[in-house]
Chain A
Amino acid sequence: MLATAEFESRARITVWELASRQKRASIRLQSSAPVRALVLSPNGKTIAWAAGTQTNGSSELALWPLLEGDETVLLKGHRGGVGAVVFAPDGKTLASTGFDGTVKIWDATSHEERMSLPAFGARGTGAAIDFRPTPFAPRFAPTHDKRVQMASTPVKMDEPTGARDLKAGFDTKSNGVKAKGPLTTVVSGPRKSGREDSNLRPLEPHSSALAKLRHAPNFSRADAEAPWD
Protein backbone atom coordinates (compact mmCIF):
# COMPACT_ATOMS: atom_id res chain seq x y z
CA MET A 1 0.00 0.00 0.00
CA LEU A 2 1.10 3.49 -0.83
CA ALA A 3 -0.40 6.78 0.31
CA THR A 4 -0.12 10.09 -1.50
CA ALA A 5 -1.11 13.62 -0.61
CA GLU A 6 -1.72 16.36 -3.10
CA PHE A 7 0.44 19.44 -3.03
CA GLU A 8 -2.46 21.87 -3.19
CA SER A 9 -4.99 23.45 -0.87
CA ARG A 10 -7.68 21.07 0.44
CA ALA A 11 -5.42 18.24 -0.58
CA ARG A 12 -6.73 14.80 -1.37
CA ILE A 13 -5.16 11.84 0.42
CA THR A 14 -5.21 8.72 -1.74
CA VAL A 15 -4.40 5.13 -0.86
CA TRP A 16 -3.11 2.84 -3.60
CA GLU A 17 -2.93 -0.94 -3.68
CA LEU A 18 0.52 -1.84 -4.91
CA ALA A 19 -0.47 -5.31 -6.12
CA SER A 20 -3.29 -4.13 -8.35
CA ARG A 21 -1.88 -0.62 -8.82
CA GLN A 22 -5.34 0.75 -8.30
CA LYS A 23 -6.78 3.40 -6.04
CA ARG A 24 -8.22 1.86 -2.92
CA ALA A 25 -9.66 4.90 -1.19
CA SER A 26 -9.45 8.64 -1.19
CA ILE A 27 -10.40 11.44 1.15
CA ARG A 28 -10.06 15.19 1.15
CA LEU A 29 -8.62 17.32 3.92
CA GLN A 30 -11.11 19.46 5.78
CA SER A 31 -8.50 22.17 6.13
CA SER A 32 -7.10 24.30 3.33
CA ALA A 33 -3.64 24.13 4.89
CA PRO A 34 -0.85 22.32 3.03
CA VAL A 35 0.05 18.80 4.13
CA ARG A 36 3.33 18.84 6.03
CA ALA A 37 3.58 15.17 6.92
CA LEU A 38 1.94 11.92 5.81
CA VAL A 39 2.61 8.68 7.66
CA LEU A 40 1.16 5.20 7.98
CA SER A 41 0.94 3.29 11.24
CA PRO A 42 3.35 0.36 11.70
CA ASN A 43 0.56 -2.12 10.92
CA GLY A 44 -0.41 -0.16 7.81
CA LYS A 45 -4.02 0.23 8.92
CA THR A 46 -4.12 3.91 9.78
CA ILE A 47 -2.93 7.00 7.96
CA ALA A 48 -2.08 10.18 9.79
CA TRP A 49 -1.29 13.59 8.41
CA ALA A 50 -0.30 17.00 9.64
CA ALA A 51 -1.26 20.19 7.88
CA GLY A 52 -0.74 23.80 8.74
CA THR A 53 0.43 27.16 7.70
CA GLN A 54 1.37 29.31 10.64
CA THR A 55 0.66 30.11 14.23
CA ASN A 56 -2.84 31.39 13.75
CA GLY A 57 -3.53 29.78 10.41
CA SER A 58 -5.58 26.79 9.43
CA SER A 59 -4.51 23.45 10.71
CA GLU A 60 -5.34 19.78 10.64
CA LEU A 61 -3.99 16.79 12.50
CA ALA A 62 -5.99 13.73 11.51
CA LEU A 63 -6.14 9.96 11.63
CA TRP A 64 -7.82 7.89 8.96
CA PRO A 65 -8.45 4.30 10.05
CA LEU A 66 -8.62 2.59 6.67
CA LEU A 67 -10.41 -0.52 7.84
CA GLU A 68 -13.00 1.27 9.92
CA GLY A 69 -14.90 3.34 7.43
CA ASP A 70 -14.47 6.59 5.68
CA GLU A 71 -14.39 8.93 8.62
CA THR A 72 -11.29 10.80 9.67
CA VAL A 73 -10.61 11.52 13.30
CA LEU A 74 -9.38 15.01 14.03
CA LEU A 75 -6.87 15.38 16.84
CA LYS A 76 -7.49 18.82 18.23
CA GLY A 77 -5.13 20.63 20.53
CA HIS A 78 -2.48 22.43 18.53
CA ARG A 79 -2.96 26.15 18.31
CA GLY A 80 -2.13 26.91 14.74
CA GLY A 81 -0.58 24.79 12.04
CA VAL A 82 0.76 21.30 12.63
CA GLY A 83 4.21 20.75 11.19
CA ALA A 84 4.86 17.05 11.67
CA VAL A 85 3.37 13.83 12.96
CA VAL A 86 4.80 10.36 13.51
CA PHE A 87 3.62 7.03 14.89
CA ALA A 88 5.55 5.42 17.69
CA PRO A 89 6.91 2.01 16.75
CA ASP A 90 4.22 0.34 18.86
CA GLY A 91 1.53 2.00 16.76
CA LYS A 92 -0.39 2.99 19.87
CA THR A 93 1.08 6.41 20.28
CA LEU A 94 1.48 9.45 18.06
CA ALA A 95 3.63 12.50 18.49
CA SER A 96 3.08 15.81 16.75
CA THR A 97 4.66 19.22 16.72
CA GLY A 98 3.89 22.49 15.04
CA PHE A 99 3.77 26.22 14.86
CA ASP A 100 2.63 26.62 18.46
CA GLY A 101 6.01 25.35 19.61
CA THR A 102 4.62 22.35 21.47
CA VAL A 103 5.21 18.64 21.14
CA LYS A 104 2.06 16.67 21.81
CA ILE A 105 1.73 12.99 22.55
CA TRP A 106 -1.52 11.30 21.54
CA ASP A 107 -3.19 7.98 22.22
CA ALA A 108 -3.74 6.54 18.76
CA THR A 109 -6.67 4.43 19.94
CA SER A 110 -8.64 6.74 22.22
CA HIS A 111 -7.46 9.84 20.30
CA GLU A 112 -6.83 11.66 23.56
CA GLU A 113 -3.98 14.07 24.07
CA ARG A 114 -1.72 12.51 26.65
CA MET A 115 0.69 15.33 27.11
CA SER A 116 1.67 18.66 25.70
CA LEU A 117 5.22 19.86 26.08
CA PRO A 118 6.35 23.47 25.59
CA ALA A 119 9.23 22.16 23.57
CA PHE A 120 10.26 25.16 21.53
CA GLY A 121 8.94 28.03 23.59
CA ALA A 122 6.16 30.41 22.72
CA ARG A 123 7.84 31.65 19.54
CA GLY A 124 9.40 28.39 18.43
CA THR A 125 8.19 26.08 15.72
CA GLY A 126 8.44 22.32 15.49
CA ALA A 127 8.92 21.09 11.92
CA ALA A 128 10.07 17.49 12.20
CA ILE A 129 9.60 14.71 14.69
CA ASP A 130 10.57 11.11 15.14
CA PHE A 131 10.58 8.41 17.77
CA ARG A 132 13.39 6.30 18.90
CA PRO A 133 12.24 2.68 19.05
CA THR A 134 12.90 2.12 22.75
CA PRO A 135 12.45 3.74 25.06
CA PHE A 136 9.92 6.08 23.51
CA ALA A 137 11.42 9.50 23.33
CA PRO A 138 10.36 11.99 20.69
CA ARG A 139 13.07 13.62 18.70
CA PHE A 140 12.17 16.81 16.95
CA ALA A 141 13.56 19.78 15.13
CA PRO A 142 12.40 23.38 15.35
CA THR A 143 12.72 25.55 12.29
CA HIS A 144 13.65 28.69 14.13
CA ASP A 145 16.13 27.29 16.56
CA LYS A 146 17.93 25.38 13.83
CA ARG A 147 18.61 22.74 16.37
CA VAL A 148 17.59 19.18 16.90
CA GLN A 149 16.55 18.29 20.37
CA MET A 150 15.70 15.02 21.90
CA ALA A 151 14.44 13.78 25.17
CA SER A 152 17.21 12.48 27.31
CA THR A 153 15.02 10.66 29.76
CA PRO A 154 13.17 7.46 28.97
CA VAL A 155 9.47 8.04 28.62
CA LYS A 156 7.07 5.44 29.80
CA MET A 157 3.81 6.38 28.18
CA ASP A 158 1.71 4.41 30.62
CA GLU A 159 2.95 6.33 33.61
CA PRO A 160 1.54 9.68 34.61
CA THR A 161 5.02 10.86 35.47
CA GLY A 162 6.06 10.44 31.86
CA ALA A 163 5.40 14.04 31.03
CA ARG A 164 7.66 15.30 33.74
CA ASP A 165 10.42 12.92 32.77
CA LEU A 166 10.20 13.88 29.15
CA LYS A 167 10.23 17.57 29.80
CA ALA A 168 13.25 17.23 32.02
CA GLY A 169 15.17 15.96 29.08
CA PHE A 170 14.67 18.91 26.82
CA ASP A 171 17.38 21.41 26.13
CA THR A 172 15.58 24.36 27.63
CA LYS A 173 18.40 26.74 26.65
CA SER A 174 17.35 26.48 23.04
CA ASN A 175 13.81 27.64 23.67
CA GLY A 176 12.87 30.80 21.90
CA VAL A 177 13.94 32.08 18.53
CA LYS A 178 17.60 32.02 17.72
CA ALA A 179 17.47 32.33 13.99
CA LYS A 180 21.15 33.08 13.66
CA GLY A 181 22.42 30.73 16.27
CA PRO A 182 24.41 27.66 15.41
CA LEU A 183 22.56 24.58 14.37
CA THR A 184 23.33 21.55 16.37
CA THR A 185 22.30 18.15 15.19
CA VAL A 186 22.53 15.54 17.86
CA VAL A 187 23.06 11.87 17.38
CA SER A 188 22.55 9.21 19.94
CA GLY A 189 24.51 6.06 20.34
CA PRO A 190 23.44 2.90 22.10
CA ARG A 191 22.03 3.58 25.49
CA LYS A 192 24.60 2.42 27.98
CA SER A 193 23.57 3.95 31.22
CA GLY A 194 20.61 5.56 32.89
CA ARG A 195 21.42 8.88 31.32
CA GLU A 196 21.43 9.27 27.59
CA ASP A 197 22.93 12.73 27.60
CA SER A 198 26.39 11.27 27.59
CA ASN A 199 25.64 9.70 24.24
CA LEU A 200 24.64 12.92 22.55
CA ARG A 201 27.14 14.71 20.44
CA PRO A 202 26.88 17.52 17.93
CA LEU A 203 27.01 16.91 14.21
CA GLU A 204 27.87 19.26 11.40
CA PRO A 205 26.05 22.58 11.46
CA HIS A 206 23.52 23.66 8.87
CA SER A 207 23.03 27.21 7.78
CA SER A 208 19.30 27.01 7.21
CA ALA A 209 16.26 25.75 9.02
CA LEU A 210 15.65 22.06 9.38
CA ALA A 211 12.82 20.49 7.46
CA LYS A 212 13.18 16.77 7.86
CA LEU A 213 14.52 14.33 10.33
CA ARG A 214 15.20 10.70 9.75
CA HIS A 215 16.79 7.75 11.44
CA ALA A 216 19.39 5.40 10.14
CA PRO A 217 17.89 1.91 9.81
CA ASN A 218 19.60 0.70 12.97
CA PHE A 219 18.38 3.78 14.85
CA SER A 220 21.91 4.48 16.00
CA ARG A 221 21.74 8.04 14.74
CA ALA A 222 19.39 10.58 13.28
CA ASP A 223 20.07 12.97 10.48
CA ALA A 224 18.43 16.29 9.93
CA GLU A 225 17.83 17.57 6.46
CA ALA A 226 18.19 21.25 5.70
CA PRO A 227 17.24 21.67 2.07
CA TRP A 228 17.87 25.39 1.98
CA ASP A 229 21.50 25.22 3.02
Chain B
Amino acid sequence: MVGFDGEAAGPLCVAFSPNSKWLAAGGLERQGDSLAGVVQVWDTATGKHQFTLRGNKLPVGMIAFSPTAAC
Protein backbone atom coordinates (compact mmCIF):
# COMPACT_ATOMS: atom_id res chain seq x y z
CA MET B 1 0.00 0.00 0.00
CA VAL B 2 1.32 3.36 -0.95
CA GLY B 3 0.30 6.17 1.32
CA PHE B 4 1.12 9.75 1.96
CA ASP B 5 4.40 9.67 3.82
CA GLY B 6 5.44 12.07 6.47
CA GLU B 7 4.11 14.37 9.10
CA ALA B 8 1.85 17.10 7.73
CA ALA B 9 1.45 15.17 4.48
CA GLY B 10 -1.76 13.34 3.77
CA PRO B 11 -4.88 12.94 1.67
CA LEU B 12 -7.55 15.62 1.51
CA CYS B 13 -10.00 14.10 -0.94
CA VAL B 14 -10.91 10.84 -2.67
CA ALA B 15 -12.87 9.85 -5.76
CA PHE B 16 -13.84 6.63 -7.50
CA SER B 17 -13.46 6.29 -11.25
CA PRO B 18 -16.75 5.82 -13.17
CA ASN B 19 -16.59 2.02 -13.21
CA SER B 20 -15.15 1.87 -9.69
CA LYS B 21 -11.92 0.26 -10.92
CA TRP B 22 -9.72 3.02 -9.55
CA LEU B 23 -9.68 5.07 -6.42
CA ALA B 24 -7.86 8.39 -6.54
CA ALA B 25 -6.77 10.34 -3.49
CA GLY B 26 -5.51 13.89 -3.62
CA GLY B 27 -3.49 15.63 -0.97
CA LEU B 28 0.04 16.68 -0.28
CA GLU B 29 3.35 14.89 0.09
CA ARG B 30 6.84 15.77 1.13
CA GLN B 31 9.10 16.46 -1.83
CA GLY B 32 12.57 17.22 -0.57
CA ASP B 33 12.26 19.94 2.02
CA SER B 34 8.83 21.14 1.01
CA LEU B 35 5.28 19.89 0.64
CA ALA B 36 3.60 19.64 -2.73
CA GLY B 37 0.28 18.52 -4.14
CA VAL B 38 -0.08 14.94 -5.29
CA VAL B 39 -2.66 12.48 -6.59
CA GLN B 40 -2.29 8.76 -5.92
CA VAL B 41 -4.34 6.19 -7.81
CA TRP B 42 -5.02 2.62 -6.68
CA ASP B 43 -6.77 -0.39 -8.17
CA THR B 44 -9.77 -0.98 -5.92
CA ALA B 45 -9.88 -4.73 -6.57
CA THR B 46 -6.24 -5.52 -5.82
CA GLY B 47 -5.26 -2.56 -3.68
CA LYS B 48 -2.25 -2.14 -5.93
CA HIS B 49 -0.92 1.35 -6.47
CA GLN B 50 -1.30 2.36 -10.10
CA PHE B 51 0.38 5.71 -10.57
CA THR B 52 1.09 9.12 -9.11
CA LEU B 53 0.26 12.52 -10.59
CA ARG B 54 2.66 15.25 -9.56
CA GLY B 55 2.80 18.85 -10.68
CA ASN B 56 0.50 20.69 -8.32
CA LYS B 57 2.60 22.89 -6.08
CA LEU B 58 -0.24 23.30 -3.62
CA PRO B 59 -2.29 20.64 -1.84
CA VAL B 60 -4.94 18.93 -3.96
CA GLY B 61 -8.21 19.56 -2.15
CA MET B 62 -10.74 18.32 -4.66
CA ILE B 63 -10.69 15.63 -7.29
CA ALA B 64 -13.14 14.45 -9.98
CA PHE B 65 -12.99 11.78 -12.67
CA SER B 66 -14.52 12.44 -16.04
CA PRO B 67 -17.73 10.40 -16.43
CA THR B 68 -16.32 9.29 -19.79
CA ALA B 69 -13.07 7.94 -18.35
CA ALA B 70 -12.57 4.32 -19.42
CA CYS B 71 -11.64 3.11 -15.97
Q: Mark B40-62, 1 if CB is under 8 A from A, else 0.
A: 00000000000101011011111
Query: Could you say which residues of chain B place their CB within 8 Å of the CB of A40?
Result: 64-67
Q: Counting CB contacts under 8 A, is A11 at the interface? A: yes
Q: Mark A83-100, 1 if CB is under 8 A from B, else 0.
A: 000000000000000000
Interface centre among B26, B51, B67 (most CB of A within 10 A): B67
A16 touches B69 (CB 8 A): no
Alpha-carbon separation in the docked complex, A43 to B65 (Å): 12
Alpha-carbon separation in the docked complex, A40 to B17 (Å): 12
* Chain A residues at the B interface, C-beta cutoff of 8 Å: 1-8, 11-12, 14, 16, 18, 21, 23, 34-35, 37-44, 47, 49
Query: Could you say which residues of chain A place their CB within 8 Å of the CB of B28?
Result: 7
Query: Could you say which residues of chain B place their CB within 8 Å of the CB of A42?
Result: 67-68
Q: Counting CB contacts under 8 A, is B2 at the interface? A: no
Query: Could you say which residues of chain B place their CB within 8 Å of the CB of A12?
Result: 56, 58
Query: How many A-B residue pairs lie within 8 Å, measured between CB atoms?
Result: 82
Chain B residue at minimal CB-CB distance from A14: B56
**What would be 8 A-B contacts, judged by CB atoms less than 8 Å apart?**
A3-B65, A8-B61, A12-B58, A18-B71, A21-B53, A39-B64, A40-B66, A40-B67
A38 touches B63 (CB 8 A): yes
B55 touches A6 (CB 8 A): no
Q: A7-B61, A16-B53, A34-B61 are in contact. Are A1 and B24 (CB under 8 A)?
A: no
Query: Could you say which residues of chain A place their CB within 8 Å of the CB of B51?
Result: 21
